[in-house]
Every structure is written in C-alpha cells, then in structure tokens.
Chains A and B, each alone.
Chain A
Amino acid sequence: MIANDLLKGTLRTIVLKLLADNGRMYGYEITKRVEELSTGKIKLTFGALYPVLHKLEADGHITTEAEYIGKRVRKYYTLTETGRTWTEQKVDEFFDFVNTLTYVLKPTPA
C-alpha cells in the first residue's frame, strides 16, 4: 500500500492520465483500473475520486455523458481538448518531479 500523503498531490494526474489512455470511463471503472495497474498498491477510494472528478469537470478539463444501466444513470467521463493538453503537461511535470526526487534521494556512491 502506498501512503495517502504521498498520493495526495498525484491523484488528479492519475485520473487524467487514465482518461487520456482509455477514452471514456466511469467512476467505479477508474478505481478498479487504478487498483489493477498498481497491483493493488494504490487504493483510489470513491471518497477521494468524486471530489476530484467534479472539480475537473467544473474547471472544464473533462465532460460527462449519461447512460442508463437499467434504472440507474452511469456517468462516463471524457477529457476535453483543454483537458488533453493539460494532462500532458501534468504528466510531464510529474515525471520531472520523480526524476528530481530520484536524483535527490538516490544513495550516494561510497
């Protein structure tokens, strides 16, 4: 399990990247996918996911389409055009961050 405080700043990037790779996804699918890709090490709970999704939608980075599954509505989330460029930017930023961290944290040769 990866500690929550480490994940905190990267949740948004994870969600954006998944939508960029998979096109449209619904909430439960996203949590499952994260679990699967991280081999269970990252548990993205609905409590963390939905506030992020709603914020991204309000900021115009993603849109939703509703589909009926039986009686209930399923909301599919998709990246908008601005969301797509923003995602690239965020992912780049993240790798930059990881590289820097690796550089800072790697053991110094004896």
Chain B
Amino acid sequence: MIAATIDDNYERIKADLVSRGLTYERLIDDMLDHVCCMVEEYMDGGKDFESSYHQVLDSIGEKRLPEIQHQTLLNLDKKFQRMKNFTYIFGLSSAILTILGSFFKRMHWPGAGILITVGMVLIVLVFLPLYFISNHREQVEKKNPVYAIVGYLTIALLLAGATFKIQHWPGAGWLIYSSIGFMLIGFIPLYVVNVFQRSGKEKANLPYIVMLLVGIACVMLMGNINMSKDLLDIYVDEALANEGRIEVAQERTASLLELALDSSHMDHQATISNIHDQARDLQVMITGMQEGMIAYVDQPGASIEEVHWKDNRSAGRDAILDNGAGVAFITEAKKYAAMLDEMVKDPMANAQIEDHLEFTTLVWDFEHGRDGVRDSPLMKNYYKNTDAAKGIALAEYVAIAYLLHQ
C-alpha cells in the first residue's frame, strides 16, 4: 500500500529532482532512492504521501542538489584532482625554496638569490594561478572572477616587489606601490561588498586578508631598514672615484720620492721615507679591512662592484670592530697625523694636511662602533674607508712636497 503510493509518484519525484538541477544519471538513482526512503520514514510515522514528500523537499532545499552533484563530479574528475595535487605540490615546493633561500641569505651562502627568485616565480606564475583556478572551479555558484583576479594581482605584485627588493633590482618600489594600489582601490572594496552581500559567509577569506596586510607591513619595514639600491649605487660610485684619486696621489708621490733620492735633498730623505712607510702601513690596514668585509659576504678577492650583499650590516662589525682592526688603524692614523703636524711648519700646507686627515679628529666609528660601523651597511663602511685612505694619500703627498721644497 505504502510502496504503491510512492511508485505512483515515481515520475513526479524524479522530475522534481531533475528540475532542481540533478543531471548526473547515477546520482539521480542514488538520490531518488534516498528521497523515497525519507518519505517512507515519514509515512511510517502516519503521515500521508503529500505532506511527507513536501517535508522532505523542504529539508533538501533548493541549492543542495546542484552542490552535491558538483562535488561528486569534481571528485570523479581525474584531471581536476591531478590539478589540485599539482597545486599542492607546487605550493609546498615553492614555499620551501623561498624559505630555504631566505635562510641562505641570512647565512650569506651563495645561491640565495636564485632560490628566492625561483621560489617566488613558482608561487606567482604557477601556484597562485592554479590555486585561484581550482578554487573557482570548486564553487557551485560562481563568484565574480574579478574578485579572484584582483586578489591574484595584489598578491602577485606584492611578492614580485618583495623579490625585486631583496635582489636590489630596479622597479621594486613601483611593483609594491601598484600592489598596494590594487588592494586599496580593488581588493578591499570588493571584499567589503562581498561580505555584506553574503552577510559574512566569507569567513575563510579573512586569513587571506591578514596575510596580505602582514606582507605589506613586512615589505614596508624592509624598505626602512635596508638601504635603497640608489643610495648603495652612489656609495659605489664615490668609493670607486676615491680609489681613482688615491691612485693619482700615489703616482705623484712616487715621482716626488724619485726626486728625493737626489743628493740635494739629503737632509729630508730619512723623514720622507718614514712618512712614506707610515702611509703605506695605514693603506695596508685599510685594504685589510676592505678585503675582510668582502670576504665576509662573498668570495675573497671579489671586487666591490660584484659584491652582492652591499647592504650587509654584519660585515663591518666582523671585519672592522670584532677583530680590533678598526681601533688599531685609528691609533696609527692619529700618530701619523701628529707626526705630519710636527714636521710641516707652513700654515697653508698644514691646513691642507689637517683637512685631509680630519677623520682622525672626529669621533670616528672605529672606536665607537655603535651608530657607526655596526649599524652601517657594508657599502657605507667601504666608502668611508676609501675616504680615509684618500686623506692619508693626499696628506702624504702634501707633506713630502713641502719637505722637498724647503
């Protein structure tokens, strides 16, 4: 009797399920039996078919069936499952590469830049697109893809900007600012609208927002701490220019020294060679500190232009402060200044020498590491050393020239 009632309505139930969005034949069979069983249960409780059936339909709701079918078909879609696996594998491996790269960078091991770049490229060009696409495909009610696209651009630009920044490539600032722009005028308004439209159902996106904000904060913080590429470039140019000037001064000094060998300068020969020896010792000390800093971050013997970690903040401390080289140098430099001051009586020449050796009278960073060497990037310390070396070479020239003209 009961079975007959359901069988009478078999076609109608099937048509209802189909009209609610079921098209996959094998799932229709399952759901048809399932619905009939539910109806039977209500009918066993004494209700008639119509009210039982309506109760069941109400409990199923309008949107459930397409959702179930979508999930079932995605489960069966081997290609989609493979894509999800790929997304997972790519996400994980690119994250590992990036983290490993950061670790390498921290340890100043070679290859950090390549690891970070490859990791970021994988994240931006492979993982994120796959993630957004598979996410979109899993939605039964498709959200506006604009939302995902703006989100993708925001994160992609931010990560690309961070990579450029770490690698000191030009354009990092531009990338980061356009990422922030995308977020402010695109992502956040869309997000707010979305939340209101769906009355807060989008909880899952909150971590995503938090992650984004933290990322931006990190990049901005990095911008404050790290010296900009432009400034580093200026220091490189100035350091190279100083090295050029030192060479010129030393060439001129060399020709003066030849003159000094002339017997007419007999009186000053000992003094002149004493000055020259002291100046040379000081230059050797400076060269030692310069090479020490480069060796700290790169292959020993690399030229300053090739050094990658020009913004390294530990090199100066390691090569100048910790081993006492800085203090030893400044002690000798002060003696050198005192000696020249004593020998050179001409006020003009004396003023020039004082000018060149001014660094010995300042509260110089070698003695007071804090706020000086310790907190400066390698390139700044390197430049300051070339400045001191230039002063020593010029003072040497002025002093010897003065003695020869006496």
Which residues of A are at the interface with B, using a C-beta cutoff of 8 A?
A: 26-28, 31, 46-47, 50-55, 58, 66, 69-75
Given A46-B30, A51-B68: 15 more A-B contacts, CB < 8 Å: A31-B34, A47-B71, A50-B30, A51-B71, A51-B72, A55-B72, A55-B76, A69-B33, A70-B6, A71-B10, A72-B10, A72-B29, A72-B33, A74-B33, A75-B33
Q: Which of B4, B7, B29, B75 contacts A73 (CB 8 A)?
A: B29
Contact call A46/B31, Cβ cutoff below 8 A = yes
List of A residues within 8 angstroms of B72 by Cβ? 50-51, 54-55
What bracket does the count of chain B residues touching chain A fall in? 20 to 34
Query: Per DSSP, are chain A's interface residues mostly helix, strand or loop, or mixed?
Result: helix
Contact call A70/B33, Cβ cutoff below 8 A = no
Contact call A28/B34, Cβ cutoff below 8 A = yes
A47-B67, A72-B10 given; A54·B33 CB < 8 A: no
Which residues of B are at the interface with A, using a C-beta cutoff of 8 A?
A: 3-4, 6-7, 10, 26-27, 29-34, 36-38, 64, 67-68, 71-72, 74-76
Q: Which of A47, A52, A70, A75 contacts B64 (CB 8 A)?
A: A47
Contact call A27/B67, Cβ cutoff below 8 A = no
List of A residues within 8 angstroms of B30 by Cβ? 27, 46, 50, 53, 75
A28-B33, A28-B38, A70-B7 given; A58·B76 CB < 8 A: yes
A53–B76 Cα distance when bound, in Å, is 10
A101–B35 Cα distance when bound, in Å, is 38
* Interface pairs (25), CB distance under 8 Å: A27-B33, A28-B33, A28-B34, A28-B37, A28-B38, A31-B34, A46-B30, A46-B31, A47-B64, A47-B71, A50-B30, A50-B72, A51-B68, A51-B71, A51-B74, A53-B30, A54-B72, A54-B76, A55-B72, A66-B29, A71-B7, A72-B36, A73-B29, A73-B32, A73-B33
List of B residues within 8 angstroms of A51 by Cβ? 68, 71-72, 74-75
List of A residues within 8 angstroms of B3 by Cβ? 69-70
